[in-house]
Amino acid sequence: MSDVNAVPEIDELIAQSLRIGADPRLVQGAGGNLSLKHDGVMWIKASGTRLGEAADRPIFVPMGIETTRAAVLETEDLVPYVLTELAAPGLRPSIETALHVLLPHRVVFHAHATGAIAAGLTAQSAARIRDLPGADVAVVPYAKPGIELARAVFAELGDDVDPERPLVLLLRNHGVVVGAADGEAAGALLDSVERFLRTETAPEAAATAPAPGAPVPAGDPVLLHPAGTVGPRAAEVLTGGAFTPDAAVFLGPQPFGREGAWDESPCVVGADGSVRARGGLGADEVEIAISLVDVARQVGGDEPTSSLTERDVHALLNWEAEKWRQNLKR
């Protein structure tokens, strides 16, 4: 075993982290995670860190592959399986460690990509991913991140997963996972999935919208997107409740309301198709809100969309792993 700087392909993993972390259509805030397996060790992004920080600070945690695999379906306390002699201090493994370590692929990327999330909101659109060429593909019903998601994935895949075949998992109400032989291949596969699924360009930001990485100033609501951004279908999707884990955790059970619904929602959709955010909203919350507008604009047809249930939201908001990640911002 060796430290991260001696791991083959770590430079490629860092480069992919920076590229993906710079694209708000792929990840928002501290979301998304990448991993690389080498010489009995899996290096995985730490919980609460941003992919865009990969060049400035250690963001990857070393885990013993065999010991972690034996534990991940039994416990979410994975700190005991960190290889402390190789690890930077103060880092905790990603919430999604179970999925990364159980998949046999050398490199695994998980992104909260807007095209994939949009496709996963309806059964008909989700099924489109099965036509993606050049990879094994599965559509996974929503499950709470962590152990429950890992179990849901393998309920779809079974035990016979070929590590030599590129893999794409469309996680309904969550995002996308790709598995490949190396970082370059995984990055290319992620890009191909999004090209295949996206149906709209990113929404235009209003002149008053905060700069990337900045919060909404305290005070009156701020215009994020101008009139005409959100049509009737997108407004229906946005105001239908939280439809991803990040939406629920960062923006609550009702992230978007109709105009005037400030008591219930941190963001509102105007009758003219504009979008406003409540004053004082944090930078992560703003990034996620904008990405949800992007998602909603890509949902077509009239098939009912899936949102998280009240039970799903309660499980996320009372989950120790998410409480810990939220506390990192304070």
Per-residue pLDDT reduced to its tens digit, 46-61:
999 999 999 999 999 9
Q: In what order do the strands lie in the sheet with 267-269?
A: 222-225, 275-277, 267-269, 256-258
- Which DSSP category does 94 fall into? -
Banded model confidence at residue 329, pLDDT cuts 50, 70, 90: low
Residue 8 lies in a domain: yes
Banded model confidence at residue 330, pLDDT cuts 50, 70, 90: very low
Per-residue pLDDT reduced to its tens digit, 180-202:
999 999 999 999 999 999 999 99
Check residue 21 and give its pLDDT: 97
Question: Is the dihedral angle over the CA atoms 231, 30, 115, 120 positive or is it negative?
Answer: negative
Query: From CA 210, how far away is CA 83, in angstroms rounded?
Result: 40
> What CA–CA distances, in Å, run from 99 to 148, 175, 207?
10, 13, 40
Residues 173, 227, single domain; the answer is no
Query: From CA 16, how far away is CA 321, in angstroms rounded?
Result: 26
- List the CATH number of the domain containing 138: 3.40.225.10
Give 273's Cβ-side CA count (13 Å radius).
14
Residue 214 lies in a domain: no
Residue 230 lies in a domain: yes
Full residue range of the structural domain in which residue 95 is found: 4-197
Q: Which residues, including other chains, have CB under 8 Å from residue 144's CB and lie 6 or more apart? A: 245, 312, 315, 316, 319
Mean per-residue pLDDT, 241-254:
96
Q: Which two tokens stand for residue 286?
A: 């703003």
The residue out of 163, 180, 197 marking a domain boundary is 197
Domain count, the chain: 2
- Does residue 328 surpass a pLDDT of 60? no
Residue 98 lies in a domain: yes
